[in-house]
Amino acid sequence: MKFGILVNEGPYTHQASDTAYHFTAAALRAGHEIVRVFFYHDGVNNGTRLSVPPQDDRNISERWSELAKAHDVELILCVAAAQRRGLLDEDEARRAGKDSDNMAPGFQISGLGQLIDAGIQAERLIVFGD
């Protein structure tokens, strides 16, 4: 089965991100296809490389990055939501006149068209968070 994943909540503030990660990893292990993981609203905070959780806690951004690399999964941050929350890739940082970016490896910035496309390509679009 082809799944599209939508994550609306940030890491460490709500269970949605952890649940989305575990669902996505389990679906891949079971042989399903993940069309795309789209992060929207506070969910874009999953894409920062600057979070530093305690050593005995999980690093959610790093988990997503490793999953994307291992399984060639697209991790897309909504550009408008990301900019509002100060999440920038190298190009967006340059355009905004900022001195650095903070995007975690494996994440990309794009528009809502990517979410629409995931909904069209996938057999099911699974939403995590409010």
Render 40-53 in DSSP notation, one character per residue: -GGGGGGGBS----
How much of the chain exceeds pLDDT 70, in percent?
100
Q: Is 78 a catalytic residue?
A: yes
Which pLDDT band, with edges at 50, 70 and 90, does 86 fall under? very high
> Are β-strands 124-128 and 107-110 bridged in parallel, bridged antiparallel, or unpaired?
unpaired
Count of CB atoms situated within 10 Å of the CB of 42 = 21
Q: How far apart are CA 20 and CA 22, in angstroms?
A: 6
pLDDT over threshold 90, residue 13 = no
Residue 64 tokens read as: 């997503």
| DSSP label of 31 | T
Strand partners, 48: 103
Phi and psi at residue 22, to the nearest 5° = -65, -40
Catalytic: which of 78, 103, 104, 122?
78
Domains defined along the chain, listed by start: 2-128 (3.40.1260.10)
Whether the predicted pLDDT of 38 surpasses 90: yes
pLDDT for residue 47: 97
Q: How confident is the model at residue 39 (pLDDT cuts 50, 70, 90)?
A: very high
Split at pLDDT 50, 70, 90, the class of 26 is very high
- pLDDT, mean over the chain: 96
Side by side, which strands form the sheet with 107-110? 107-110, 75-78, 33-39, 2-7, 124-128
In the predicted structure, residue 80 carries a pLDDT above the cut 90: yes
pLDDT band at 50 (very low <50, low <70, confident <90, very high): very high
